C-alpha cells in the first residue's frame, strides 16, 4: 500500500524529473506507468486509488504516484521549488509519453484528467479508464472517455 511522504516520493522521482527538466527523455530502469486522477476536484476514493497504484507499482514505476498522497499539495510545492523552469503540464505530458501504460480514474469532474486521457490516446499509450461510481462528470468528459 502507498503510505509514503511527499518528500520520499519527490526524492525517488527527482532523477527522472531532472532529466525531463533538461528537455530529455529519461531512460527507464523498469517500465514507467502513469495514473491520472482529480487532485483538486475531490479526494474521495483515495484509498481505492492507492490500492490501484500499489498494484501498478509491482510492475512499473508509477510516475504520478504523488496524486494519491495525503500531502499532494506539499509535493507540488516542493517540486516547483526544485524545478522552477518546467511547468507541471509539460512534466505530466512528458511522463505520459514515456509510460508503457496509462490508468485514469474519471469519477470526479476534472479537465486535467480529461486532457491527460486525450494525451495518452494521442501518444498511443495503452490505457485503462474507470469510474468508482456513476460518474459525476460533464457530458464532454463522457464523450472523451467513450471515444477513447
pLDDT in tens, 4-39: 678 888 888 888 888 888 888 887 777 999 999 988
Q: What is the pLDDT of residue 136?
A: 54
Take residue 120 and report the three cell numbers written for it.
495518452
Nearest to 128 by CA among 61, 22, 53, 63: 53
Phi-psi region of 127 (alpha: psi -120 to 50; beta: other; left: phi over 0): beta
Specify the 3-state DSSP secondary structure of 77.
helix
Given a cut of 60, is residue 56 above it in pLDDT? Answer: yes
Amino acid at each position: 500500500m502507498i503510505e509514503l511522504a511527499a518528500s520520499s516520493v519527490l526524492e525517488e522521482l527527482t532523477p527522472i524529473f531532472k532529466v525531463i527538466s533538461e528537455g530529455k527523455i529519461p531512460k527507464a530502469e523498469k517500465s514507467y506507468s502513469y495514473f491520472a486522477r482529480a487532485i483538486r476536484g475531490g479526494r474521495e476514493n483515495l484509498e481505492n486509488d492507492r490500492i490501484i497504484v500499489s498494484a501498478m507499482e509491482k510492475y512499473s514505476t508509477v510516475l504520478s504516484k504523488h496524486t494519491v498522497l495525503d500531502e499532494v499539495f506539499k509535493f507540488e510545492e516542493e517540486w516547483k521549488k526544485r524545478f522552477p523552469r518546467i511547468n507541471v503540464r509539460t512534466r505530466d505530458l512528458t511522463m505520459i509519453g514515456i509510460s508503457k501504460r496509462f490508468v485514469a480514474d474519471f469519477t470526479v469532474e476534472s479537465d486535467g484528467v480529461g486532457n491527460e486521457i486525450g494525451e495518452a490516446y494521442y501518444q498511443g499509450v495503452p490505457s485503462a479508464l474507470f469510474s468508482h461510481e456513476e460518474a459525476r462528470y460533464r457530458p464532454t468528459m463522457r464523450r472523451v472517455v467513450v471515444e477513447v
